[in-house]
Structure formats: structure tokens, C-alpha cells
Amino acid sequence: MHTGLMWFDNDPRTTLAAKIQKASRYYQQKFGRLPDLCLVPPEALDAAQADPTQEQPITVRAYRPVLPGHLWIGTEEQNS
């Protein structure tokens, strides 16, 4: 993903899944399409993996350059 939407939410009471859902809804309203990729700080993904009940229709990957409290959400580029 080269372009996307940077989302900030540092509320520790909100789960990663809820943050991704909010960011996804906003992305859809702004760009008229659903995102399919969300890049998060590695420590956020580690915490989310500890809860196996969380399922996302969006691929979530750890990406070290994303700062804590932030998400980078968008569409994955297809190599043709």
C-alpha cells in the first residue's frame, strides 16, 4: 500500500478491532470503497493476536513505521 488514510486513536479502552472498524467506515465514506488492508504498529498486533475472538474482513499487518496509536488503512496494491 503506497497511499491510504492515517487514523489516530490512542484510547486504551478501545480494542484494535473497534478502531479498525471506525477507520474503515470513515475510509468508505471518504473514498467510496472498502479498504482491504490495515497496517498497525507491531505491539498493537501482538495485543490483538492475544484475543482469538477478533476477526476482521480486512487484512491486518504489523508495520514498524506506523506509530503507536495510529493505523494506516487503505487498499492493497495488486501487482500485475
Q: Does the pLDDT of residue 1 top 80, yes or no? A: no
pLDDT (0 to 100) of residue 53: 44
Specify burial of residue 63 (Cβ count, 10 A radius: 0-12, 13-18, 19+). middle
Which residue is associated with the grid cell 488492508? Answer: 37
Q: Is the whole model's pTM more than 0.85, yes or no? A: no
Q: Does the pLDDT of residue 14 top 80, yes or no? A: yes
Q: Residues 15-63: pLDDT tens digits?
A: 999 999 999 999 999 999 999 999 999 999 876 665 544 555 889 999 9
Residues linked to residue 5 through DSSP beta bridges, in sequence order: 73
